[in-house]
Amino acid sequence: MLLYVVSAVYVAYLSVKGGLGTATWNALFWIILLFAAFNALSRSFQREDQGRQLYLYTLVDPRSVVLARSLYNALTMVLLSLLSLVFYTLFLGGEVLAEADLPQFLLAVVLGGIGFAAALTLISAIAARAGNGLGLMAILGFPIVLPMLLAVLRASKLALDGVAWSVTGTYFLGLVLLDVITVTLAWLLFPYLWRD
């Protein structure tokens, strides 16, 4: 996963050696992170054969399985997001971060990573149960992740512009609500997928 991110950041660096504006720097960062999330989380439920699924079904509650996977994927995505930011800043420069509200931007990165993980864990479960993993994951994933992507793009852009918390607080509250709603939906819907 990290190799994918470093490779994508390096290709971006080779493409835009002349420098980037704040909006382009932000958009490119989130596009790289979105595709890294799809690559990292697409196989959340794909690796299990029928025997292992039956074993887990008899052993634990399905809600525990989806919450554990969501938590693991969220931690993975937060770590991957922060490492991506480090490499992205090293390769493409951190001039954009000079005037930014860094705590706000880091919060946007963390909330965006958690949101991607929560949404894509649920989509991965649906795609795995449908039997057409990667194709269905791409088709279902993008429309579901799009509102989160737009909110995190806006919140992080405002943070990079150094806008006060009083203005950006609405976007961060929206990100937290999207994360909570996604995890709640996974918690509610996964037992029906699991029973199949």
Per-residue pLDDT tens over the stretch 48-98: 666 666 676 677 787 888 888 889 999 999 999 999 999 988 888 778 888
Alpha-carbon Rg of the chain, whole angstroms?
A: 18
Q: Note the pLDDT tens digit of each residue in 105-158.
A: 999 999 999 999 998 888 888 877 776 666 777 787 888 889 899 999 999 999
Count of structural domains, the chain: 1
Stated pTM of the model: 0.86
CB 43 within 8 A of CB 162: no
Size of the chain in residues: 196
Q: Note the pLDDT tens digit of each residue in 174-185.
A: 889 988 998 898
Please tell me what DSSP assigns to residue 60.
Answer: S
Torsion of CA 74, 77, 83, 84, to 10 degrees: -150
